[in-house]
Amino acid sequence: MELLSTPKNIEINNITCDSFRISWAMEKGDLERVTHYFIDLNKKENKNSNKFKHRDVPTKLVAKAVPLPMTVRGHWFLSPRTEYSVAVQTAVKQSDGEYLVSGWSETVEFCTGDYAKEHIAQLQEKAELIAGRMLRFSVFYRNQHKEYFQHVRMHCGNVMKPSLKDNSGSHGSPTSGMLHGIFFSCNTEFNTGQPPQDSPYGRYRFQIPAQRLFNPNTNLYFADFYCMYTAYHYVVLVLAPKGSSGDLFCRERLPQLDISSNKFLTCCVEEGELVYRHAQDSILEVIYTEPVDLSLGVLGEISGHQLMSLSTANAKKDPSCKTCNISVGR
C-alpha cells in the first residue's frame, strides 16, 4: 500500500483551560484513505511543577478520522495555564488490524488558558456549601512586618499600593499574576467577635473601618476557592470601587456577588447603619484593588504568634481535594 504523507502546517486555536482545536494539512490523496489520527501531547515540565499532582494519562490519543479542525477535550486531563507540545500522525487501519502510519509531524507548542467565568462560578457553588453561618465584623485588617509599614510611610507617601497577585490558589485562576490589589482579612474569633491575635504575615496590623473599603459604591466578586492539604478552606474575594480598573478587570472574568445577599461577605443597611458579616467556616482573603492611605485606619502590634505554617504566599492548591476542585483543570 502506498505510504502516507507526513502531516504539516499544524494549527492550534480555540484554546481554553481544558480543550483546544487542532488542524493540519495532508496530501489530497490521503484525505480519502486516512482512518485514524494519532496525537501525541506532552506537558512541558518545569522546576515549579506541583510534585503532588497526578501524572497525566495517556499522552497518545488514537482518534477516528473526522473533518478538520477537530476539538480535543476530555481525552486528557488538561491543566489550565500549562505549556504543552503536540505532534500528529495519520494512519490507515488495514484488514489485519495493523496500521499503516505516516511520519510524525513537526512539534508545535501552546499554552492552555485560564478558568472561564463559568468555571469560577462552579468553584463558587462548591464554596457556598461549606461557608457556614455569617458573623458580624467591623474592620478589615492587614498584617505585615514592621519594615513593610516603615517603607510605606517613608517611600510611598503613607499609602499602601496595590501589587500583583501571586500564584497561590487554583492554578487556573484568572487573577493570578494579572490582578493588582492589597490583601486584607476580616475573619473574627467566634468567642470574642474580634480579629485573631495570631497571624502568618507579620506582627504589625493595620486595621481600617469596614465601610472605608466596602460600601454601596463597591462591587464584590468571587475569585477562588482552595485548600493547602488541610481541613480548612480559603475563599478569595475581590472588592473593587465601581468603575475602577480593577472593577473592569473583574467584570469580564469573575462572578459578581450581591453585596447584601451572598454566602461569604455582606454589607447591609440595618436601622440606618451599614452592618457587615463574614462567613464563619471559610478563611476569607479579600483583595482591595485601590491604594489605601494608612491615615484611614490604625496601626498596632498584635500580642499573638506569627504562624508561618498558615501563610498562603504562592501556596499550591491540593489537586485531590473533592471539596474545592472542579472537573476541569486543577
CA–CA dist 91, 97 (Å, integer) = 12
Model confidence at 89, in pLDDT bands (50, 70, 90)?
Answer: very high
Task: Specify the pLDDT at position 55.
Answer: 43
Model confidence at 54, in pLDDT bands (50, 70, 90)?
Answer: very low
How confident is the model over 300-322, as a mean pLDDT?
Answer: 74
- Number of Cβ within 10 Å of residue 139's Cβ equals 22
In the predicted structure, residue 109 carries a pLDDT above the cut 90: yes
Task: Specify the pLDDT at position 310.
Answer: 53
Model confidence at 84, in pLDDT bands (50, 70, 90)?
Answer: very high
Tell me the pLDDT of the chain averaged across its residues.
89
CA–CA dist 203, 225 (Å, integer) = 26
Percentage of the chain exceeding pLDDT 90: 71
CA–CA dist 37, 277 (Å, integer) = 56
Helices (H), the chain: 28-31, 117-129, 146-155, 210-213, 245-253
CA 147 to each of CA 120, 164, 203, 243: distance values in angstroms, whole numbers, following the listed order: 36, 19, 11, 33
Model confidence at 245, in pLDDT bands (50, 70, 90)?
Answer: very high
Task: Specify the pLDDT at position 15.
Answer: 95
Task: Specify the pLDDT at position 50.
Answer: 45
Task: Specify the pLDDT at position 52.
Answer: 39
Look at the block and give the residue holding cell 506569627: 306
Task: Identify which has the larger pLDDT, 157 or 330.
Answer: 157
How confident is the model over 111-133, as a mean pLDDT?
Answer: 96
Helices vs. strands in the chain: H and E counts, helices first: 5, 22
How confident is the model over 103-122, as a mean pLDDT?
Answer: 95
| Dihedral of alpha carbons 179, 145, 227, 79, sign | positive
In the predicted structure, residue 244 carries a pLDDT above the cut 60: yes
Per-residue DSSP letter, 306: B
Task: Specify the pLDDT at position 78.
Answer: 82
Model confidence at 75, in pLDDT bands (50, 70, 90)?
Answer: low
Percentage of the chain exceeding pLDDT 70: 90
User: The C-alpha cell of 203 is what?
Assistant: 506582627
Model confidence at 191, in pLDDT bands (50, 70, 90)?
Answer: confident
